[in-house]
Structure 1
Amino acid sequence: MSAVSTASPPDVRGRLRAYVRLGKLSFYDYYLSAFLVWCALPGAALWEGRTFAVLLLYTAGYVGVVAATVALDDVTGIRDGSDARNYTPENGALRDLSRKPLLSGALSVRQAELFGWGAAVWGAVLWSVTLAVAPHNGPWTAVAMLLVLVTNAQYSYGLKFSYHGGQELILLSPGLAVLLPYALLTGEVTGLIVLETVLFGLWSLLVSAYSNMNDVEGDRLAGRRNLATLSTEAGYRRIVVAFHLLEPAAIAVAIAAGAVPAWFALLLLPLLAGRVAQIRAGLLRRDVLVARLLGIRLHRWGVPVLMLANALALHV
């Protein structure tokens, strides 16, 4: 049964709420990276006005980049039918249909396209201002920001990177929301910030991996080529296990290289224990949407844990 609604068009306030849902503005997880960056800065830079300006501008621009990504992804999802197959009433509260305003009839495809491109322009303008304001704006940071903008806007739309094997790589771009602002503010990349870039990207991936597991049949029918659709069920489960193992491996490598002290691992132990519960839910009990929700919660709890670790390592 199709999940597409034939509800009457909403009023102005309802349409505004629909745009907020289209841009997934309530999903703030990616934007928590600004707090990690701030806590990882050298003491002298913590309270400078330009520090706050760069973090605010970068994050506000990133909101536009992410909104463009998810809005244009929904446009493609409604056109190829994958969203109607993946978002069904049976998912209930685990996957709220109201978060898909094209399926519910709150917005038209044309409105979503205009919103998506407007959000991309918003991101491009604010990131240009960020580069102008930042104390360190080397060419590589500008190129990296441009690549993030282009690949995200074309994630499922236009060039459709996520349909041609690039989905998992692009989903690691949230990690760059840690690396790039730090480089713009300090002009360098430390071992600590590399570890937190990797962890932040992995936390995002360990949410999307379970979404892809849930959506595999709909994505196959839509022609999306990612690790889930190209693998057998057993093969993809092994891939997800490998994603999980990357997290403790990254921490161990960082400690061995002297990038972070050994007690970093002790602070992160509760998060790693949470990953065991996520594996149990998603891979053993096959409650993949429950595992996805656990991934979201672990991502959100991981940020204050790393903020504490940064404060102890650098400012105490």
Structure 2
Amino acid sequence: MTSSAEARSFAAGTIAAESKLRSYARLGKLDVYDYYPAIAVALSAVLPQDGRPLSAVLLTSALFLFGSVFVIMSMVALDDVTGYRDGSDTANYGPDDPLRNKRRKPLVAGALTVPEALRFAWVTAAVGAVLWAAAVQTAPYRPTWTVVLIAVLFVVSLQYSYGVKLSYHGFQEAFLCGLGAAMVLAAYGLTAGHFSGLLLVEGVLFGFGPLMFGVYSNTNDIPGDRAVGRPTVAARVSAKGNAVFIGALSAAEFLLGAAASATGVAPWWFVLLMLPVTALRLRQYLVGFRTGDIMRARRIGFRVHRVGFVLLIAANLIAGTGAAA
């Protein structure tokens, strides 16, 4: 069954009709899974250690993972509602931008209504909250800082583009990185029971993945974001300033790993293991700002992130087994 708006869109020949279930999956961005491996990064640092209650670690990790899926589905659905209401999504995914897939925005495509999107967002938020509470309840450890972090993470995630609209007050870039870092640390705290400087570094490096394809998206979306007053760095600075900013972020990613190795927070070989990420990040930058193909650079960013979290998992397994001591 299709909505009347979807039928009109289909009749106009702009978009083919699809099921409501598929539209809800698109609203929740289930095909973009790049935050969810945060739990695998944390788990890889815990499992090589002796003396952990394995069944409790796996159950807690699974509950936190599924809770994360629902919380992030709620977050991105609320982001779509705000983007549709203020017109930025219509501008960024409209007929003047053939590089963006209109199906990815079910409200813009007419496949869902705003009330349907809001119901979806609040239901998924409630399910996510229950699953995260269950993860805390079943966790082998419940350090106070971890429980507080999870509570803050839940509240702040729903305020990303809704409510106080953090991304509309200059916090978008910090949020994209911070969300990934917080997920790594929260999953680790519940299963390891203590804070780790290495996992903080890994969490920030993990968060750099979504941040770095986010800033390329923002570069493409400058006209729409400026029109609605969404103050991303790309929308606030000149083209050259934005290129410098993204270049600085790319360099900072490498320097963080290098500093961790140099200070002993990470093993000496950690920076060397992560060099493929640095090489791919350089390629991403050159494609985006020398070739001028921002959307291709954004796609490269997904690949960089996926290589990166695999290497982070490898680093934890190597460190845990002492293979490269």
Superposition TM-score, scaled by structure 2 size: 0.90
Q: Tell me the equivalent position of 1:199.
A: 205
2:39 aligned with 1:37, yes or no? Answer: no
Moved more, 256-265 or 61-70: 256-265
| Cα deviation 1:89-118 (Å, max 9, x = unaligned) | 5654x5322111111111111100110111
| Cα deviation 1:110-130 (Å, max 9, x = unaligned) | 100110111111111111111
2:311 aligned with 1:309, yes or no? Answer: no
Q: Tell me the equivalent position of 1:209.
A: 215
2:244 aligned with 1:242, yes or no? Answer: no
AA matched with 1:122: V
* Distance (Å, rounded) in 1 between the aligned partners of 2:153 and 2:114: 24
| Cα deviation 1:114-149 (Å, max 9, x = unaligned) | 101111111111111111111221222222112211
Q: Which runs of 5+ in 1 are unaligned?
A: none
Superposition TM-score, scaled by structure 1 size: 0.93
Q: Tell me the equivalent position of 2:19.
A: 14
Among 274, 280, 283, which residue is 1:277 paired with?
283
* Distance (Å, rounded) in 2 between the aligned partners of 1:89 and 1:297: 28
What is the number of residues matched between the two proteins? Answer: 311
Identity %: 41
Q: 1:8 Cα shift?
A: 5.7
Moved more, 262-271 or 159-168: 262-271
Contact kept? 1:38, 1:46, Cα under 8 Å? no
2:263 aligned with 1:261, yes or no? Answer: no
* Distance (Å, rounded) in 2 between the aligned partners of 1:43 and 1:145: 24
AA matched with 1:178: V
Superposed counterparts of 1:107-256, under 5 Å: 107-172=112-177, 173-256=179-262
SS at match of 1:28: coil
* Distance (Å, rounded) in 2 between the aligned partners of 1:24 and 1:124: 19
Contact kept? 2:61, 2:187, Cα under 8 Å? yes
Q: Tell me the equivalent position of 2:78.
A: 72
Q: Tell me the equivalent position of 2:88.
A: 82
* Distance (Å, rounded) in 2 between the aligned partners of 1:294 and 1:47: 39
Contact kept? 1:69, 1:116, Cα under 8 Å? yes
Contact kept? 1:39, 1:310, Cα under 8 Å? yes
* Distance (Å, rounded) in 2 between the aligned partners of 1:101 and 1:243: 32
| Cα deviation 1:216-274 (Å, max 9, x = unaligned) | 11011111122222222221221111111111111111111112222222221111110
SS at match of 2:19: helix
Moved over 3 A (4+): 88-92
* Distance (Å, rounded) in 1 between the aligned partners of 2:227 and 2:147: 37
RMSD, matched Cα: 2.1
SS at match of 2:23: helix
* Distance (Å, rounded) in 1 between the aligned partners of 2:18 and 2:224: 32
SS at match of 2:36: helix
Q: Tell me the equivalent position of 2:29.
A: 24
2:101 aligned with 1:96, yes or no? Answer: yes
Contact kept? 1:36, 1:178, Cα under 8 Å? yes
SS at match of 1:29: coil
* Distance (Å, rounded) in 2 between the aligned partners of 1:44 and 1:19: 42
Q: Which runs of 5+ in 2 are unaligned?
A: none
Q: 1:51 Cα shift?
A: 0.8
Q: Tell me the equivalent position of 1:49.
A: 55
Q: Tell me the equivalent position of 2:296.
A: 290
